[in-house]
Amino acid sequence: MGEYASGKSEVAINRALELKRQGREVTLVDLDTVEPFYTLRTLKNDLEKKGLKVLAFTRAQSFGLGETGAMLNPAARWALKQEGDIILDVGYGVFGAQTLNLVEGAYESPELKIMAVINYSRPMTGNRERIRSYIKNLGRVDAIVANTHMGDESTIDIIKAGNQEIFIVAAELGIPIAYQVLDEKLKDSGEKNWEIPVKYIKRFMPTAIW
């Protein structure tokens, strides 16, 4: 989960595909309650061709429902009953981790990990104070994925400087950093000196609706 446009879906998709490549069974769940018909809908078919199971509305399922609005995909409610690895892409909104109230068995699951995706270039998480209060408002957070970037204008310097601020706040709050995320286009930057493990991601969301 994380701030609007923090990169939650991109991180979720890439993590799901990474697990799939390891030969695991993976279900990716669109748990966006603000715009439930939009986030992963256009990507669903492509991702399923790559072997993922994607719980998201299809065009046929949402035809006539038209608008955005609070609606939970019934399959998402029971998502944790799926076999294998389950990744919940929790949409933004004021309820933070409470959105998991909608998922049966979320709090009883010993395996559930709540990861907050944070991009320091997003103004609402653009300084230490804002990151601190943002994370506190989310509720339970088990780990942080540092995802500082500036889209096509990302540089290693921007990423390093931003993520460093995230690390500082995470240390203060006693929350571990799971990993940091870099666009695969930056793989050849030559930078090797990463304090925290890096995962390179491929960007899928540019082909989403918005």
**Which residue ranges make up the site for another protein (CB under 8 A)?**
4-5, 35, 66-68, 119, 121-124, 126, 149-153, 158, 209-210
Closest CB 24 distance from another protein, rounded Å: 30
Closest CB 209 distance from another protein, rounded Å: 6
* CB closer to another protein out of 5 and 102: 5
For 10, which DSSP code? H
- Characterize 201-210 residue by residue with b for buried, 16 or more Cβ atoms within 10 angstroms of its Cβ, and e for exposed: bebbbeeeee
Closest CB 200 distance from another protein, rounded Å: 19
Closest CB 72 distance from another protein, rounded Å: 18
Closest CB 5 distance from another protein, rounded Å: 5
* CB closer to another protein out of 20 and 149: 149
What tokens were used for 78?
């029971």
Closest CB 190 distance from another protein, rounded Å: 23
- Characterize 8-46 residue by residue with b for buried, 16 or more Cβ atoms within 10 angstroms of its Cβ, and e for exposed: bbbbbbbbbbebbeeeeebbbbbbbbebbbbbbbbbbee
Report the amino acid identity of residue 73.
N
Q: Is 152 exposed, middle or buried (0-12, 13-18, 19+ CB in 10 A)?
A: exposed
What tokens were used for 65?
């429902």
* CB closer to another protein out of 52 and 159: 159
* CB closer to another protein out of 65 and 171: 65
* CB closer to another protein out of 110 and 123: 123
How far apart (Å, rounded) are the C-alpha atoms in residues 57 and 194?
A: 38
* Residue 182 near residue 200 (C-beta atoms within 8 A): yes
* CB closer to another protein out of 124 and 175: 124
